[in-house]
Amino acid sequence: MGYIPHTDVERRQMLAAIGVTTIEDLFEAVPATHRFPRLKLPAPLSEVEVAREMLALAESNEHAQDFALFRGAGAYHHFIPSAVNHLLLRGEFYTAYTPYQPEFSQGTLQATFEYQSMMCALTGMDAANASHYDGATSLAEAVTVALQVTKGKRNKIILSPGIHPHYREVVRTYHQGRDVQIVGDDAPAQAAALADLLDDKTAMLAVQYPNFFGQIEDLAGLAEKVHRAGAVLVVVANPLALGMLKSPGSLGADIVVGDAQPVGVPLSFGGPYVGFFACKQEFVRKIAGRIVGESVDTDGRRAYVMTLRPREQDIKREKASSNICTNQGLMALGVSMYLALMGKTGLRQVAELNYHKAHYAADRIAALPGYQVNRERPFFNEFLVRCPQPVATLNQALVAEGIIGGYDVGQDYPHLAQHMLLCVTEMNPKEEIDVLVDVLGKVK
Amino acid sequence: MTLRMTMPEQVATPEPLEPLIYELSVPGRVGVNLPVCDVPAAPLPADLLRDDLKLPEVSELQVVRHYLKLSQLNHAIDKGFYPLGSCTMKYNPKLNEDMARLPGFAALHPLHDTEGAQGALALMYELQRWLGEISGFEAVSLAPAAGAQGEFAGILMIRRYHLDRGDTQRTKILVPNSAHGTNPATVTMAGFEVVELPSDERGDVDMNALKQVCREQGSSIAGMMITVPSTLGLFEEHILDVIETVHNAGGLMYMDGANMNALMGIVKPGELGFDVMHYNLHKTFSTPHGGGGPGSGPVGVNAKLKPFLPGPVVDILEEASEPDESPLYGFVMPSKSIGRLKAFQGNFGMHVRAYAYIRIYGDSGIRDVSRHAVLNANYVRARLMDTYKIPYPRYCGHEFVIEARLDGAESIHALDISKRLMDYGIHPPTNYFPLIVPEALLIEPTETETKETLDEFIDVMKKIAVEARQTPELLHTAPHHAPVKRLDEVRAAKQLVLCCAPALPGAAD
């Protein structure tokens, strides 16, 4: 039953070879008082029944195949070519593990090397690791690197309030056991004001690009100020936006992190996603996670292998800077496949589609009475709208029309009550946008 | 393996097995069919745009062939035996993959309104309950993204628990020297100091050392991390004594649940007295390892630690009004939570797979998983005992360790045996771990392997022992039949080529 292949005859043969009469005899070291407890679980089901039950659970959710989705806020509904899923379902990829044995893992290793290369190209950095759990944990790991490169003499971390609220929470979770001062995210959302907080205790300053509100902040000059103060500039980036925007590397970033979910990973109710982490060459030996390097085998054939292993927990143990072991390998692989299919022109095209559609939606909503679109900065595929009604009320009306509306920003930013963050992507045809605008215009 | 082109004579460098995707690139080639823009174009902000983007330009078929070829260079569970100790490389059921890809799960936005995500929330709620039942814990959070993150959550909870009681002196965590590397690394990350404990001659925690540490440093001990069964595959014989000793010193007990595949329906860690543990859904609950993740590392806790769980967790917001109706589920943040561990709410796709897995086995089947995992390991152990040195003379759990030193083959190391196994189409066991056994090979067959596969592995291991004595060179130069020979790891670390983008033809930034 289940996936256990043993027959009665085989069990008997195996027990005889071991020299016991029952399987239970093998558990003599477990305290008898606690051995073989009853498990109050539901009864087993057949594959047919499990599939039926789970389909019902799935279908009770309001999902992006049935609804027009205009919500982003850190997780985005984008087109993923069919080839990606087909290739990810190759058992040779998804039923393998960490490539500890390079001779038996060249597929995973070369694909990871290519992934690292693509992330370097997008971000304008020199090196990238094989991934972190998600964008938020990548940012938290960047803090660790910044504390290390400033040799423990600096403990102030400046976070822009324009960084995703969950990401900022995760940084605080990760560093609660350390003497670290996290500041900046109660200030106004503009990058320029953050620079005023720089001092000789600052290890790092981080901004998001585009920021949580979709705005493309003016980073010109920021890197110079951060570097003059002796700190590290970390940019949290949306990799799809980097299909058209200047790379953070060209703007002076030292470390670029983020979530690669927008480039090839389904929404999947929040995970698994994939945190990318790219940096300048000088930080490579300080970063956490798997890194794949090029080498040769004993025949001189080009091949790939995990490298700089002495940084990692299984070797360095309590002196390792992070405990990360399993990362998001398969999602990183999917991202590489997506980026290979999109290529240099395709990714630019998708990025521009997002830009144009978001601007079309913003222009039409701005023309509705009572709605005000924030245009302080250029935006990519998300924009902030001040609404005439509470966002929850509007979203209720929208869902009745088959539309999932924007994110209620007031939940995280009390001064932005009644502000909706709308996201428009290449998945929203013009007709969907027009219906969204019509419904918003009609809510009384 | 495909046949390579005829090599020109005297060329020392063989061709790479597959070109890099960048080497397949031809300027102007496109691999995707995208929609045309159906809205008026907005002016682009020229000063913010990049000039160039160094991504490959390849066709869809090229991409498909490239990754298919790469996949064939991997070993994987679907291809053959993979007894990688401490990783539980069991079969990954195909049903689970289909379930995770249902649009109702895969296309569900993580910030969707509670009312419209009831199916997903119900699934998470049930999985929390089932995991709690299997391990005997009061509450479970599915938030951690991997086992290591579950460990981190557990140790942070222990930290918060003591601080919450105003006990600020507890700065140390005890860790046995057989522990996974993640354990001591976790302790440091959480701001604690590691106190390493020796093991005794039976592979258990040295009780005298433990009692001495607790006597001398008791008030500074925040807790202890221990893997059950241990990384040696042994069920700790004094486990109740270990737990009591640490509790008496005021510390809490963390169980590393990496080896839970030996314990389901055998014993509940919560009932033994553990305060907190993590599960590895990608080990015990069959979610795929993905070539290095994604994992999922839920944490279970007793009532003491429940308020500190990482969030959000799923709870019932409103009970059902009628018996045949569903309650209203929703996310809540535990009252004294250590906080968020990642954006949104855990690796949901892995929760879906684990749900399907538990549902297939159910109450009567889950125990069979662990029974057969332990049966398989003991069978291989018993049959290899005459050929290899097996350090601890006891029944093992779901895995066991060999000391890979053969009399009459002194030049042979664990690594040589590992590499030679590849020539027989078998993935090597975990080598050189646990650290306390010299030349360790940690072997974990899992319950989904047939007796025939185990017998074949046993035969190969015996044959390799003969080869080691008769033709040691065969092992030193292995593998001979893998896609590549042994790698030059020193060169990789010295030359440090980590990305190919700078070598792109015509790439000038």
pLDDT, tens digit, for every residue of B422-470?
999 999 999 999 999 999 999 999 999 999 999 999 999 999 999 999 9
Neighbours of B165 (CB within 10 A): 10
> Among residues 15-34 of chain A, which lie with CB inside 8 Å of chain B?
15, 17-20, 23-31, 34
Q: Say if residue B354 is in the same domain as residue B399.
A: no
Q: Say if residue B437 is in the same domain as residue B313.
A: no
Is the pLDDT at B403 greater than 90? The verdict is yes
Is the pLDDT at A222 greater than 60? The verdict is yes
**Which residues of chain A does B148 touch, with a Cβ-Cβ cutoff of 8 Å?**
313, 323-326
CATH of the domain at B392: 3.90.1150.10
The pLDDT > 90 percentage for chain B reads 94
Which chain B residue shows the shortest CA-CA distance from A408? B111
Q: Say if residue B382 is in the same domain as residue B341.
A: no
pLDDT at B503: 43
Q: Say if residue B171 is in the same domain as residue B253.
A: yes
pLDDT tens-digit profile of B317-328? 999 999 889 999
pLDDT grade for B504, boundaries at 50, 70 and 90: very low
Rounded distance, CA A134 to CA A327, Å? Answer: 9
Is the pLDDT at B3 greater than 50? The verdict is no
The residue with tokens 């938020």 is A136
CATH of the domain at B211: 3.40.640.10
Total structural domains within chain B: 2
Q: Which two tokens stand for residue A215?
A: 């705005």
pLDDT tens-digit profile of B16-30? 999 999 999 999 999
The residue with tokens 């279908």 is A59
Minimum-distance CB partner of A35 among B134, B266, B447: B266
Q: Say if residue B349 is in the same domain as residue B406.
A: no
Residue of A23, A70, A211, A317 best to disrupt the B interface, most CBs of B under 10 A = A317
| Burial class of B249 by CB neighbour count within 10 A (0 to 12, 13 to 18, 19+) | buried
| Burial class of A312 by CB neighbour count within 10 A (0 to 12, 13 to 18, 19+) | buried
A121 touches chain B (CB under 8 A): yes
Q: Say if residue B348 is in the same domain as residue B463.
A: no
User: Please, what is the average pLDDT of chain B?
Assistant: 95
Domain holding B131, by residue range, is 96-318+328-360
Beta carbons within 8 Å of B348's beta carbon, 6+ residues apart: A268, A269, A270, A271, A272, B105, B110, B120, B124
pLDDT grade for B507, boundaries at 50, 70 and 90: very low
Q: Is cis: bond before A210, omega within 30 of 0?
A: yes
Is the pLDDT at B508 greater than 60? The verdict is no
Query: Domain for residue B36, yes or no?
Result: no
pLDDT grade for A191, boundaries at 50, 70 and 90: low
CA angle, A353 then A357 then A362, to 5°: 150
Query: Domain for residue B110, yes or no?
Result: yes
Look at residue B140 and give its three-state secondary structure: strand
Look at residue A20 and give its three-state secondary structure: coil
Query: Which of B308, B339, B360 corresponds to the end of one domain?
Result: B360
Query: Domain for residue B367, yes or no?
Result: no
pLDDT at A314: 85
Average pLDDT over residues A112-133: 97
* Cα-based distances in Å from A326 to A93, A356, B182: 15, 38, 10
Which candidate, A366, A385, A365, places its Cα nearest to that of A374? A385
Q: Which two tokens stand for residue B181?
A: 């590397």
Q: Say if residue B258 is in the same domain as residue B301.
A: yes
Q: Say if residue B137 is in the same domain as residue B245.
A: yes
Query: Domain for residue B26, yes or no?
Result: no
Pairing of strands B430-431, A407-408: unpaired
pLDDT at B505: 41
Q: Say if residue B186 is in the same domain as residue B242.
A: yes
* DSSP label at residue A245: B
Q: Say if residue B350 is in the same domain as residue B443.
A: no
- Gap between the terminal Cα atoms of chain B: 38
Q: The complex's ipTM?
A: 0.98
pLDDT tens-digit profile of A263-272? 999 999 999 9
Query: Domain for residue B86, yes or no?
Result: no
Query: Domain for residue B59, yes or no?
Result: no
Average pLDDT over residues A225-233: 97
Q: Cβ B16–A133 below 8 Å, yes or no?
A: no
Average pLDDT over residues B387-393: 95
A108-122, B237-251, B494-508: segment of lowest average pLDDT: B494-508
Q: Cβ B32–A341 below 8 Å, yes or no?
A: yes
Look at residue B391 and give its three-state secondary structure: coil
Minimum-distance CB partner of A64 among B82, B109, B428: B109
Average pLDDT over residues A66-77: 98
Phi-psi region of A214 (alpha: psi -120 to 50; beta: other; left: phi over 0): left
pLDDT at A220: 82
- Gap between the terminal Cα atoms of chain A: 58
Query: Domain for residue B500, yes or no?
Result: no
Query: Domain for residue B161, yes or no?
Result: yes
Q: Say if residue B344 is in the same domain as residue B461.
A: no
Rounded distance, CA B152 to CA B147, Å? Answer: 9
Task: Count CB pairs under 8 A between chains A and B.
Answer: 703
A42 touches chain B (CB under 8 A): yes
Minimum-distance CB partner of A63 among B56, B108, B186: B108
Say what the alpha-carbon torsion angle A66, B120, B155, A151 is, to the nearest 10 degrees. 0
Q: Say if residue B256 is in the same domain as residue B201.
A: yes
Q: Cβ B294–A328 below 8 Å, yes or no?
A: yes
The residue with tokens 């029952």 is A22
Phi and psi, residue B393, nearest 5°: -80, 70
Sheet containing B430-431: give its strands across: B400-403, B440-443, B430-431
> Among residues 373-432 of chain A, which lie with CB inside 8 Å of chain B?
378, 395, 399, 404, 407, 426, 429-430
Is the pLDDT at B11 greater than 70? The verdict is no
The pLDDT > 90 percentage for chain A reads 93
Written as one letter, the residue type at B54 is K
Q: Which two tokens stand for residue B437?
A: 């056994």
Please give the domain boundaries of chain A with CATH numbers for all domains.
68-80+343-442 (3.90.1150.10), 83-337 (3.40.640.10)
pLDDT tens-digit profile of B151-171? 999 999 999 999 999 999 999
